[in-house]
Amino acid sequence: MKTPLLDLLKTRPLIGDGAMGTQLMLAGLEQGGCGEAWNLTHPEKVLAIQRRYADAGSDCIITNTFGGSRIMLNRHGHAGDVTAVNRAAVEITREAFGGRPGYVLGDMGPFGGLMEPYGEFTEAQVRQAFDEQAKALVDGGADAIIVETMTSLEELQLAIEAAKTAGAPCIIGSMAYDVTLDGTTFRTMMGVDPERAAEFMEAHGAHIVALNCGTGMEMERARDAVVRYKAVTDLPIMVQPNAGVPKLVSMKVVYDETPDHMGAGVVPLVEAGARIIGACCGSTPDHIREFRRLLDAHLAAAPSASRA
Ligand SMILES: [Zn+2]
């Protein structure tokens, strides 16, 4: 029997994974294509990406289901494949660990629209879509559900509730913050600050509070977010910053923070209290390998740093 994720987190910090979307593009997914459908049509390519993360030292790997809700899949004509896409994703991620006791985090991204009265989707439609996806991920055997890149509390709540209803053993809520124009602070696109988000997530039953992606939220800013989360909650904290801000070079989107550059932020994040450290857009297995090396060196030098 594997140690539950939340129990293991009490004994040591863990390493997450890196980007999926940019890796799918490198593997041949066209711009605007349906990466989640690859769980069914090109499972070997998804597996190859996740194996590289497992080999780089990820303890937790996120399933390839960011856009795996019915509303998102419907845009690509795959609305009928919700259960198959999500269950296959969990199986692929499990296989990537190759029998080692890694954690499969079932990914739920935003549904990709706005709810009434601002948009065309009813709350019931969104709830149904999240319920369906969460159930497929949990039934497939995910160790946790990560609700990520969230910007609105309403949507976050529906996704957390879906994970709860599905019986997820662990629920991670992850917000995407943008640094404000004047550079003094950060909040989500919908105006939510980290204290409010953490309190809200805890009140609604999340077990881990997290942040990922966003704009301008590099390792140092992520550390600020960890400090602000810590001030209002005792829940474990997970962080997945992007590999810098995307730049357009020769018509290609480039993320320019190297493994070295991002790596410099790993120990400060652990010291601030982050318990799972991964990375988001633009990061690669090389980034994760460097995170692993730095975390292990840090823990070897100061074993007491393991404890939460
Ligand atoms: Zn991202």
Q: How far is the CA of 304 from the centre of ligand 1 (A)?
A: 32
What's the distance, CA 153 to chain centroid?
17
Check: CB of residue 11 under 8 Å from CB of residue 307: yes
- Residue 107 contacts by C-beta under 8 Å, 6 or more apart in sequence? 62, 63, 64, 65, 66, 68, 89, 137, 146, 148
Q: Average of pLDDT values for 295-301?
A: 96
> How much distance in Å is there from the Cα of 18 to the middle of ligand 1?
9
| AA identity, residue 134 | A
CA 300 to ligand 1 centroid distance, Å: 30
Q: How far is the CA of 212 from the centre of ligand 1 (A)?
A: 6
156 burial (CB, 10 Å; 0-12 / 13-18 / 19+) is: buried
Q: Do residues 156 and 175 make contact, with C-beta atoms less than 8 angstroms apart? A: yes
CA distance linking residue 68 with residue 106, whole number of Å? 10
On the question of pLDDT at 218 being above 80, the answer is: yes
**What's the CA-to-centroid distance between 79 and ligand 1, angstroms?**
24
Instruction: Determine how β-strand 60-62 pairs with β-strand 171-175.
Output: unpaired
Ligand 1 center–CA 302 separation, angstroms: 31
What would the pLDDT profile of 64-96 be if each residue is shown by its tens digit? Answer: 999 999 999 999 999 999 999 999 999 999 999
CA of 214 to the centre of ligand 1 (A): 7
Burial of 42 from C-beta contacts in 10 A (0-12 / 13-18 / 19+): middle
Ligand 1 centre distance from Cα of residue 287 (Å): 14
Q: Is 2's pLDDT higher than 80? A: yes
Residue matched to tokens 């053993």: 169
| Cα 295 to averaged position of ligand 1 atoms, centre (Å) | 22
- Global pTM reads 0.97
Q: Which two tokens stand for residue 254?
A: 């480039």
> Is the pLDDT higher at 303 or at 177?
177
- Cα 281 to averaged position of ligand 1 atoms, centre (Å): 4
Q: Alpha-carbon torsion 158, 69, 34, 242, what sign?
A: positive
pLDDT band for position 133 (50/70/90)? very high
Q: CA-to-CA distance for 210 and 253, rounded, in angstroms?
A: 25
Tokens 């550059």 label which residue?
Answer: 261
